[in-house]
Structure formats: C-alpha cells, structure tokens
Amino acid sequence: MPHPNGSVGNPVTVAHTFEEAYSCVGMREIEYFSTTGEPLTATQGIAGDGVTPTIVLRGQRHVHGRVCAACWGFMTSCTGERIGQAVSPLDEVIDDAE
C-alpha cells in the first residue's frame, strides 16, 4: 500500500478528505457502527512502507481493512479489502467526534 492510482473499487460518497478523517481519528479510537451494524473502531496507523498514513478499521473480531488517502472514498482499499461499509459511516461521524 498505497497504489499510485488508489482503489479500483466503486466510489462511495464522502464529505471529508482523508486528511480530515485522519486528523479527527488522532491518537484515540473513534467508535461507530458499520453499515451492517457491526461495532467498529478507527485508529491511526502507518502502512507497511513505514511512511504512508492509514486509518485502521477494526471490527469485533478482526481488522476489516486499512484505508489511505489513495483509497479513501472507495468501496475497496488499495490492497483489495472491502472497506465501503466502514468508510461511509466513519465519514458521517467525523463532525460529531471533533
């Protein structure tokens, strides 16, 4: 991660930029629900390259995916993880979390 062209997945509507979301997540967890009703937490992370900022999307039992600036606003991450069910609702709670 990241791919230079971002995700190849379908776009989802987001009102905030990745930078706004990443800043809001900060060093704390944001708790919210996916579109399927699963409790999720979002935290800041760094991609395997040691440089690229990511938002880590954790569910009840596992990490659902990681999203970077290139794949923010898409249904699928740069690495092929399905993230739309987690990105869209995270975008919606950003204003409330600030």
| CB burial string 3-37: b at 16+ within 10 A, e below | eeebbebeebebebebebbbebbeeeebebebeee
Q: CA of 65: how far to CAs of 81, 88, 95, 96, in Å?
A: 6, 13, 22, 23
Domain boundaries defined on the chain: 18-97
Q: What is the mean pLDDT of each run of 10 residues along the chain (98 residues)?
A: 60 94 89 94 93 94 91 90 92 80
Q: What is the pLDDT of residue 8?
A: 64
**Do 14 and 73 meet the contact criterion of CB atoms below 8 Å apart?**
yes
Beta pairing partners, 45: 54
**Do 65 and 77 meet the contact criterion of CB atoms below 8 Å apart?**
yes
Q: What is the pLDDT of residue 72?
A: 94
